[in-house]
Chains A and B, each alone.
Chain A
Amino acid sequence: MTALGALIRRDIRIALRIGGGALIGVLFFLTVVVLMPFAVGPDLALLTRLGPAILWLGALLASLLTLDRLFTADHEDGSLDLIIMSRTPLELACAAKALAHWLAAGLPLVIATPVLGLLLNLDATATGAVALTLLAGTPALTFIGMIGAALAVTMSRGGLLLAVLVLPLSIPVLIFGVAASQAAIVGPLPFGAPFSILCALSLVSFVIGPFAAATSLRNGLD
């Protein structure tokens, strides 16, 4: 338990210090959202309607962008080999690393959402709904993305491949995240149904992600 705690603390510290680059994800999120009005026009009504979709797409792309940091740095300096050889089960170590990555790179996206909601002319309810769905959904993006990161860590040009492999798998999260936000803002549907499916997707990814990532790390690095 202390080993996992130490791993989480270490990863968060590395991510937040100089050279860590976790907060670049938030900057990227902001840039994507700022780019949108240039593409669709400064029509506030249209931006309100598209707002949840824009925020979700931005968060999806931003979390994808930071994913290759998950294992690459540790692979380069050799600490990944130590983690694999240590007595802590690799599945738990993977889960701890993903949790640390989400705390350093995923949670800031959720915190930034209210500010970006202002830019897109979303009211308080809509912003709250999007932030809440992102809070429930981004862990799934991190834990599914971890599988792709573990596959890509041993390859050159792994980054682009990572995106191609992970994006189709994250379609369900996107569908239910946007659907739950829309349900809270306008939709005839109750908020609860898509939101609970979104939570279920996150829970499933907590199970699948660490096992698949550990398997591919063990097989890829020997």
Chain B
Amino acid sequence: MSLIDLANPTRFLALAARLSPWLALVTVVLLAAGLYLSALAPDDYQQGATVKIMFIHVPNAWLSMFVWGVMSIASLGTLVWRHPLADVAAKAAAPIGASFTFLALLTGSLWGRPMWGTYWEWDARLTSVLILFLMYLGLMALWRAVEDPTRAARAAAVLTLVGALNLPIIKFSVDWWNTLHQPASVMRMGGPALDKAFLIPLLVMAVGFTFLFVTLHVAAMRNEILRRRVRSLQMMQARAYQGSAPSGGATSQAVGAA
């Protein structure tokens, strides 16, 4: 089954219905294993038990960027190939990505309280994640501002791609701004120098959260397709009610017409 076959929403719905329980099962197993391993992980000699916030915080932060990547690929699908499911995928991913970003900020600030003595520090990473969060919210506002889903999809696709080009620039400038104002960074977690006792639970949690995203994303895409069908059915009904030209009942929407 290729991507072209999935352009048919009915086929996608059937496949999603078959896959969803398995995806949910894998997610639950991985997250349970990850949480168990995180509980077993030793305390850090400096940070104590608070280091375990990392096992939730880092996967959320990684997904906040990963979801924007997924949306960018979907946006290319919308603009270049006009794939009818691409805009459904992009729209369904945005609120999930915003939630992961918000959770990354929240856990980061909860971690910051015992470590830095403050809930908010204008640390480079926190700041760039905050800007990412603002961009997610702007994107969702754009989706809600246009009534016609296909036109909203193309506008959002342009913004997503511009955002994807700009995010590295924003990240770089925030890093630069931060080092200028704050020569000694308070953040002292070394990525590759992480001990194996921490690394394995972290990786399991990261894979588990990624599966969580895939599960939620497939479910949200199903909901979005059904929502569009309801919308086009309602519009057909309204048109039939008016009695004016009910013959052209099928709307031009690819998803709705299926």
Question: Hey, which bits of chain A sit against chain B, CB under 8 A?
Answer: 147, 151, 154-155, 157-158, 161, 164-165, 168-169, 171-172, 175-176, 179, 189, 197, 201, 204, 208, 212, 215-216, 219-220
Contact = CB atoms under 8 A, between A and B. Distances in A.
Contacts, number: 76
A220 B154 contact: yes
Given A179-B180, A204-B169, A164 B141 contact: yes
A158 B163 CA distance: 19
Interface stretch (B54-62, B111-119, B131-139): B131-139
B146 interface: yes
23 contacts: A147-B159, A151-B142, A151-B155, A151-B158, A154-B146, A161-B138, A161-B141, A161-B142, A165-B142, A168-B138, A169-B166, A175-B176, A175-B177, A176-B176, A189-B180, A204-B169, A208-B162, A208-B165, A212-B158, A212-B162, A216-B155, A219-B79, A219-B158
B158 A154 contact: no
Contacts of A169: 162-163, 166, 170
B116 to A, nearest CB: 22
Nearest to B79: A215
Given A147-B158, A157-B145, A169-B170, 8 more contacts: A147-B162, A151-B159, A155-B145, A155-B146, A168-B134, A171-B173, A208-B162, A220-B155
Nearest to B169: A172
B11 interface: no
Contacts of A204: 169
Contacts of A147: 158-159, 162
